[in-house]
Amino acid sequence: MKKLLLSGLLMSSLALTVVYAAEEPNADAYREMTYGDRDANPALLVVDRGEELFKAKRGSKNVSMEECDFGLGKGVVKGVYAELPRYFQDTDRVQDLESRMLTCMTTVQGFDEAELKKKTYANEKANEDNTDLEAIAVYIAAQSDGMKINPPIAHPKEQEMIKVGEALFYHRTGPLDFSCASCHGADKQRIRLQNLGNFSKAGADAQKAIGGWPTYRVSHAAVRTMQHRIWDCEGQMRLPDTEYGSPLTVALIAYLTSQAKDGTYVLPGMSR
């Protein structure tokens, strides 16, 4: 049922692509569309599913994710995404939303980490529904809709993570010699017709990008999270699959989020 509805919506969005592509071949049109009629974002169905999963008693310990602390205290979801990544004392690590979800699901709910990581993303080529991880992430993130992007930077480990993320952003490797900065290091760059944000400086580009993720990607007919975006861009660099929630991914996300500080989350987003 759901998938049928989604693909109906997808088709109308694709029809829109054609119209928009003729004038302005970029992702902005989708965003404007989202701001205009946000109730039409198919991600909202995934948010609902994520809420059910979040509140259900699950895992070998049969407890819900309401038993977990995402940074603002046990059970709080409102506004937590706006203040991530952050340092958590219990793990002694800086964590983004998704690595924190893993902590919650393994230590509090009793899921097996390797099992959880077996299937992190829906395969758009097989027209799959979003995974549970994607649904839970977009549910939690959507509870920061309209809030300021405000990752904490007081803790030395938070500062360190941003620094490491910045160094990783410029780290060139792989058969194409790319770093993130190859594509996201200057203003108004494009790969083919796709606009690339300049994330080497703080401000508008980073704010717009970070502020719209997780996003409903029309071309995938699925919700995508920041972990997926990093995996996707690492693939464009022809590097191996990133390890879900690893410090490498968290460092990059911490850097990007710090560049986006004071922007506004408009969630769930919608994009090409």
Partner 1 sequence: MKKPILASVALSILAGVTWAAGDDKAIQALVDQYISTGYQQGDKQHLERLKQDETLKICSETRNKPSDEQAKAIVEREKASIKYPEKMLGSWEKGKEVFNTGFGMRVGVIMPDKADKPRGGNCYACHAADPKEVAAGNIGSSLTGYGKARGNNETNIKYTYEKIYNSQAHVACSNMPRFGANGVLNPEQIADLVAFLIDPASPVNK
Q: Distance (Å, rounded) from C-alpha 250 to C-alpha 161? A: 8
Tokens linked to 22? 């003729």
Instruction: Please report whether residue 260 would count as binding ligand HEC according to CB under 6 A.
Output: no
CA dihedral 34, 39, 45, 50 (to 10 degrees): 80
Give the three-class secondary structure for 146: coil
Inter-residue contact 180 to 256 (CB < 8 Å): no
Q: Distance (Å, rounded) from C-alpha 106 to C-alpha 99? A: 11
Longest distance between any two alpha carbons in the chain, whole Å: 54
Site map for partner 1, 213-252, x if CB under 8 A? ------------------x---x--xxxxxx--xxxx-x-
Q: Is 233 a catalytic residue?
A: yes
Omega into 151 within 30° of 0, i.e. cis? no
Footprint on residues 1-30 left by partner 1 (CB under 8 A): 25
Interface stretch with ligand HEC, choices 97-105, 139-147, 225-233, 257-265 (CB under 6 A)? 225-233
- The single-letter DSSP state of residue 215 is E
Size of the site for ligand HEC (CB under 6 A): 23
The least distance separating ligand HEC from the CB of residue 118, rounded to whole angstroms, comes to 23
- The single-letter DSSP state of residue 220 is T
Instruction: Please report whether residue 27 would count as binding ligand HEC according to CB under 6 A.
Output: yes
Instruction: Please report whether residue 87 would count as binding partner 1 according to CB under 8 A.
Output: no
- Amino acid letter, residue 69: D
Element holding 94 (H helix, E strand): strand 93-95
Q: Which lies closer to ligand HEC via its Cβ, residue 6 or residue 266?
A: 266
Instruction: Please report whether residue 75 would count as binding partner 1 according to CB under 8 A.
Output: no
Q: Distance (Å, rounded) from C-alpha 55 to C-alpha 66? A: 6
Footprint on residues 129-158 left by partner 1 (CB under 8 A): 153-154, 156
Q: Residue with CB nearest ligand HEC?
A: 180
Instruction: Please report whether residue 196 would count as binding ligand HEC according to CB under 6 A.
Output: yes
The least distance separating partner 1 from the CB of residue 261, rounded to whole angstroms, comes to 14
Instruction: Please report whether residue 45 would count as binding ligand HEC according to CB under 6 A.
Output: no
Tokens linked to 133? 């991880």
Instruction: Please report whether residue 234 would count as binding ligand HEC according to CB under 6 A.
Output: yes
Q: Which residues are catalytic?
A: 233
Residue ranges that bind ligand HEC, judged by CB under 6 A:
27, 178, 180, 182-184, 191, 194-197, 209, 212, 229-230, 233-234, 236-237, 252, 256, 271-272
